[in-house]
Amino acid sequence: MDGLRYTDRTRVRRLPERGTREWPAVAAILDEALVCHVGFVVDGAPVVIPTAHVRRGTTLYLHGAPSSRMLRIAAGGVEVCITATILDGLVLARSLFHHSLNYRSAVCFGRASEVTDLDEKEAALRCFAEHVLPGRAAEVRPPARGELMATRVLAVQLDEASAKVRGGPPKDDDEDLALPVWAGVLPVHLVLQPPVADTPELPQPESVRRAPSLPRFAAGVAASDVENMA
């Protein structure tokens, strides 16, 4: 993609130095996040619903049951806002005022269109499984035609989006630096616990054995790395 459209609503207003409209930053956040939050408007009021997503090129896919209200409304082509956020750390400053969180977020605006071609729907469903766990799609029973019919898949073109990142240490006031108050960052990240098998008689497949080394579950983003992203 040549780049994202620079619209007024993707301009990061507060602390613009933490914002970016560079496509790789947006794509990386969408790819690491397992859940996004979809905003839409019902009777003039906002509704925000969490759901899984997957990015394929410059398309973001959503999916679910046809009876999902969120998918039904979004399929009508109304405006949606899709936001994914990854928490990276607790920022503990010397003053209460400067306490913060380290995070990376992507905010995407667009209109969804429904994917009706069954081959494209099946490809999208494979992408969802691969997004959650690479290698998984090839290990399982593929979708039957009836299952594809019973799944609504939406596609949103990602051309109007921005990312915002807060990383690194607390930013204390100069006059607070000499206070005898411990300050620093407590980095956080998602980890996997041991699998809870539904099929204890079967060996763990490669996708499961490899899962702990996926970037989103690996040693976590070092504070220095996050700082470099900001």
Of 7-15, 19-27, 54-62, 113-121, which segment contacts its own copies by CB under 8 A? 7-15
In the complex, minimum distance from the CB of residue 6 to its own copies, in angstroms, rounded to a whole number:
17
In the complex, minimum distance from the CB of residue 14 to its own copies, in angstroms, rounded to a whole number:
5
The rounded distance, in Å, linking the Cα atoms of 196 and 83 is: 30
For residue 75, which of 22, 130, 113, 121 has the smallest C-alpha distance? 113
The rounded distance, in Å, linking the Cα atoms of 184 and 90 is: 8
17 contacts its own copies (rule: CB under 8 A) = no
Q: Binding residue for its own copies (CB under 8 A) from 4, 26, 27, 107?
A: 107
144 contacts its own copies (rule: CB under 8 A) = yes
- Letters for 146-185 (x = contact with its own copies by CB under 8 A, - = none) are -x---x-----------------xx-x---x--xxxxxxx
3 contacts its own copies (rule: CB under 8 A) = no
What is the DSSP secondary structure assignment for residue 205, as one 8-state letter?
A: P
Residues between 56 and 95 with contacts to its own copies, criterion CB under 8 A:
64-65, 67-69, 79-83, 85, 87, 89-90, 92-95
Token output for 164: 């915002």
Contact 86, 35 (CB under 8 A): no
Beta-carbon contacts of 205 under 8 Å, excluding residues fewer than 6 positions away, are 135, 136, 139
